[in-house]
A and B are shown apart, each in its own frame.
Chain A
Amino acid sequence: MKKILGFIIIFIIWYFISFIYHQQIPYPHDVIINFFNIFPEQLLEPTLESLSLLLTGLILSVLVGIHIGMYMGLSSRVNQIIDPIVYSIYPIPKSALVQVLIVIFASMFWMKTTLIFIIVVFPVIITVKDAVKTIPKEVFYHAKSLSLNKKEMYKEILFPAILPNLLSTLRISIGTSIAVLYLSETRGIGSGLGYYIDSHVVVNNLNMFTGIFELSLIGYLLFIGIDILEKRWCKWI
């Protein structure tokens, strides 16, 4: 019920802005009707492309980030080596990397995936590292006294301990990833939803907004997905 109220508020604001700027911004109902009309022919392909990029980048960065973060959290020596690398690369504006990655990668898919990877992996590393460091030493003592093997230690202690923080970081990173994905899709050989939106800026205002609506829908569904994972895996919060 509260979620519906949230949507109602968004639509009220949208209608209000459309009413004032009706030349530039179409009404929500026009966008939604247009979305269902053009989705199979015009939006399906770019959507699948953008979604596969986003998911590949997110999955890769989570897998790599968890491992590096855990090693950093568990070993001060590893932490000392990797900390300067993370802290010096993380603050670089990721949009500045688009041109560099276009030069490096021949494949547009891997250029964009790498970009998303770079955006997400650093927050994941930092979050996981900090989460491991906050596990009370008594927990490790007890785990040690249970003689858990390495696999059990990761599965039963470390992974559950970092999971809530990891999911929060993913929520934040998804927003940034979508924004940079849009940016990267408008550069070089354009493709995906970003390119679709960009190519309709002048030609078809309604289609452009439908593309933006679709992008927001993808983001929303990903957030919902993370909420579902949290409810399933973090019942103890």
Chain B
Amino acid sequence: MIKMNNLNFSYEENKPVIRHINLELDKDEKISIIGRSGCGKTTILLLLAGLLKPVSGEILINNQLLLDVRRQTGMIFQNGGLFPWKTVYGNCSLGLKARHTPKKEMDHKIDQVLDNLEIKHLKAQYIKNISGGQKQRVAIARTLVLDSDVLLFDEPSASLDAFTKENFQDLLLSIYEKYPLCSIVVTHDIEEAVYLGQKIIVMKDGKMDEIIDNKKLFGDKSAKKSIAFYEKCIEVRKRLE
């Protein structure tokens, strides 16, 4: 589904941020990207979202060259990037309105997604009145209503407390079960990377240094209590060093 061929990017000349990245992802693959600050993890997401253009190389999504922002790619930022002047409903409906979706169909779709994410009761609330975890759910909801097939998460739980973080991670796993999509989670949290990725990509200095297979542990909500989970975390930590 997603193919990156010899991808290179730099914000300033002779200071490459992304270097020679080659990667292929399947239609409903879930991967985690982990790395230290400044290693280029967020830049990869911005490139995949079409918000940045590669200096050289190419990105193909569904065999189509990515030249601009793609409507079916949703990006969820650390702080949600929500529109505070709109209600939860308003945030979710804006994209559908721009696509001239009939009101009835739009309401049905929004209700369904909000219900799946357990935030239907917040529909009429403004963003300032909801918690950090709920904001992240709204951010996901507004991309899901647009039938996104690629979800890009930029450190989605970085600003959440420990309990909300766990709930949010479990929510992501249930979204993965309900919606067939390709997901990339960028994080600096080793446990989160192991919990949410079928593959864990370790990034160093703009390069994909290592791809660790994690299919055995992925999807098991009780995995966090297992020895295998912590062994995997230790393995990732070693690769990061």
Residues on A with beta carbons closer than 8 Å to the beta carbon of B71: 145-147
A142 touches B86 (CB 8 A): no
Which interface residue of A146, A156, A160, A161 has the most chain B CB atoms within 10 A? A146
Min CB–CB distance A156 → chain B (angstroms): 6
9-residue interface stretch from A133-141, A184-192, A198-206: A133-141
Residues on A with beta carbons closer than 8 Å to the beta carbon of B219: none
Contact count band on A:
20 to 34
Residues on A with beta carbons closer than 8 Å to the beta carbon of B51: 141, 144-145
Interface residues of A in 118-177 (CB under 8 A from B): 136, 138-139, 141-142, 144-149, 152, 156-157, 160-161, 163
B94 interface residue per 8 A CB criterion: yes
How many Å lie between the Cα of A117 and that of B84 in the bound state?
31
Interface membership of chain A positions 21-40, coded 1 if the CB is closer than 8 angstroms to chain B and 0 otherwise: 00000000000000000000
How many Å lie between the Cα of A54 and that of B69 in the bound state?
45
A136 touches B79 (CB 8 A): yes
Given A141-B51, A146-B95, A236:B85 Cβ within 8 A = yes
A139 touches B81 (CB 8 A): yes
B74 touches A145 (CB 8 A): yes
How many Å lie between the Cα of A160 and that of B86 in the bound state?
9
A232 interface residue per 8 A CB criterion: no
A139 touches B75 (CB 8 A): no
- Interface class of chain B by DSSP: loop
Residues on A with beta carbons closer than 8 Å to the beta carbon of B128: 236
A152 touches B98 (CB 8 A): yes
B126 interface residue per 8 A CB criterion: yes
How many Å lie between the Cα of A148 and that of B100 in the bound state?
11
B74 touches A160 (CB 8 A): no
B83 interface residue per 8 A CB criterion: yes
Interface residues of B in 69-98 (CB under 8 A from A): 69-71, 73-75, 77, 79-87, 94-95, 98
- Interface class of chain A by DSSP: helix
B49 interface residue per 8 A CB criterion: yes
Min CB–CB distance B93 → chain A (angstroms): 10
Residues on A with beta carbons closer than 8 Å to the beta carbon of B49: 141, 145
Residue of A nearest to B142 (CB): A142
Residue of A nearest to B73 (CB): A145
Residues on A with beta carbons closer than 8 Å to the beta carbon of B79: 136, 138
Residue of A nearest to B74 (CB): A145
Residue of B nearest to A153 (CB): B98
Q: Pick 30 A–B contacts, CB within 8 A, sort by A.
A: A136-B79, A138-B77, A139-B81, A141-B49, A141-B75, A141-B77, A142-B75, A142-B77, A142-B83, A142-B142, A144-B51, A145-B50, A145-B70, A145-B71, A145-B74, A145-B75, A146-B95, A146-B146, A147-B98, A148-B94, A149-B98, A156-B94, A157-B83, A160-B83, A160-B85, A161-B85, A235-B126, A236-B84, A236-B85, A236-B126
Given A139-B81, A142-B142, A161-B85, list of 17 further CB < 8 A pairs? A136-B81, A138-B79, A141-B46, A141-B51, A141-B81, A142-B75, A142-B77, A142-B81, A145-B70, A145-B73, A146-B71, A156-B86, A160-B83, A160-B86, A236-B85, A236-B126, A236-B127
